[in-house]
Amino acid sequence: MSEPLHYKSVAELSSELSSKKISSVELTQAVIARTKAVDAKVRAFNSFDEADALAQAKASDERRSSAKTLGVLDGIPIGFKDVISVKGQPLTASSNMLKNFVSPYDATVTQKLKGVGAISWGRLNLDEFAMGSSTENSAFGQTHNPWDLERVPGGSSGGSAAALAAGEAPATLGSDTGGSIRQPAALCGVVGLKPTYGLISRYGLIAFASSLDQIGPFTRTVEDSAILLNAIAGHDPMDSTSFKTEIPDYRAELKKRKGPWKLGIPKEYFGEGLDPEVTKAVEDAVSFYKSKGCEIKEISLPHTKYAVGVYYIIATAECSSNLARYDGVRYGHRSKDANDILDLYFKSRAEGFGAEVKRRIILGTYVLSSGYQDAYYVRAQKVRTLIRRDFLEAYKDVDAVITPTSPTPAFKAGEKAANPLAMYLCDVYTIGVNLAGLPGLSIPCGYSKSGLPIGLQLIGKPYGESELLSIAHSYEQEHTWGTRHPNIEAQKGAL
């Protein structure tokens, strides 16, 4: 039995568009219909422009009919996390601070996707300014996990992961500062790729922590990740942190590299707090690789225990600096009852920012304050270097590292809301990748007894996306975890 259009992979849809089995208008109509049918329950979207999407689809069909197609992604709708600029569309960061803001320009990744004919499809919900691990911190309401509407989809890119899992888009883009692509991908049962820092331009991405943020794709398959990465990777002079490196054809490389590989298992990632069902699923995946001739080696990443602390010093420091621009003067929310300029600053920020954003601004301002900067921020940067060295040392002996993506499957909405520290620990396995600037990928590797997805994280060498994708692809080819879909219709909508 064939999958409905809204659940087909990008590769499948591209093939059907090429053979004229379907049109882009038909595909886009199917995606719109699916979104209208389920998003009242899932709440993945902040907004979408149906007429604009159909106009883009019509233009794609016209190109195809005149043999001027722009490539694999031509005519395929791609959803955008609402921190990535799309000209003429809302850019809210799921915050009241930017509630009515419309982007005046395209992000570089948006330009690249438009250049290959992809359809810009909607604005996806997130934790406000990408600060959170559950998408409960949005000013526009929380997103629900399609597998269990009473549970969270992860965060901060929860809308991007949930929309894909629910069939509301064939692929989406998110951003990852400390796990914000990989963790929701794991909790929603999809593939999520956080590329090497500098591989994809951050121009047009609303900044949270500039030395950590990276844009990446959510897809149904590893092959689709390679397709999206082909489209959006590459040097950009508009981003000073963009790295000049040769960009291979990731999709072609996927089929060339066969292994076997040397894979490292870090002992620090399999300790206290790891759910037994997650442990079992990851161990089964390791056993699979071993059966395929891969050499499995226990490794140590000794500075892992400092990663969460280091991350929440560096990320909050950069956040407090980046968010200083939202002052009620130039753009964004402006308080209506301020008496003077100082009052305008205070009231605009107090009214515009939510509780978690305020918490992180305060933390960041503290660690950068006079007398504390050396004790906290400077020391954290030194330990960050040690964390990166741990990984680079390990890569002298192994090709990639295998870990769980998240310590548990999706937790219930509200479960960790009163305990910020418990929420921060959700990213314990993903944070080190951002601190070290490495590529990380989450793929589905099983389900809990209650039917919740479990993710396997693969961590690669700097700019080693080709090999990382191949390692993941070899697992995916012999497992069907990613082909399952949630039964949203049978669930009552969450409050």
344 pLDDT more than 70: yes
Q: How far apart are CA 346 and CA 301, in angstroms?
A: 43
Tokens representing residue 78 in the block: 């791609």
Burial string for 89-118 (b: 16+ CB within 10 Å, else e) reads bbbbbbbbbbeebebeebbbbbbbbbebbb
**81-124 confidence digits (pLDDT tens):** 999 999 999 999 999 999 999 999 999 999 999 999 999 999 99
Task: Tell me which DSSP letter residue 345 carries.
Answer: H
Average pLDDT over residues 297-317: 97
Q: Which of 85, 156, 242, 348 is catalytic?
A: 156
Q: Which of 8, 14, 81, 103 is catalytic?
A: 81
Predicted pLDDT at 317:
97
Q: How far apart are CA 487 and CA 323, in angstroms?
A: 39
Average pLDDT over residues 407-435: 93
Average pLDDT over residues 69-88: 97
Predicted pLDDT at 495:
61
The one-letter amino acid at 287 = S
Average pLDDT over residues 5-28: 98
Is 156 considered catalytic here?
A: yes
Q: Delimit the domains of the chain by residue range.
A: 5-268+279-299+389-483
Predicted pLDDT at 79:
98
**155-195 confidence digits (pLDDT tens):** 999 999 999 999 999 999 999 999 999 999 999 999 999 99
Q: How far apart are CA 8 and CA 61, in angstroms?
A: 19
Q: Which of 103, 175, 180, 348 is catalytic?
A: 180
User: 440: which strand partners?
Assistant: 194, 459
Radius of gyration of the CA atoms of the chain, in A:
21
In sequence order, what E strands does 337-398 have? none
Is 412 considered catalytic here?
A: no
Is 81 considered catalytic here?
A: yes
- Annotation: CATH topology of 5-268+279-299+389-483: Amidase signature (AS) enzymes (3.90.1300)
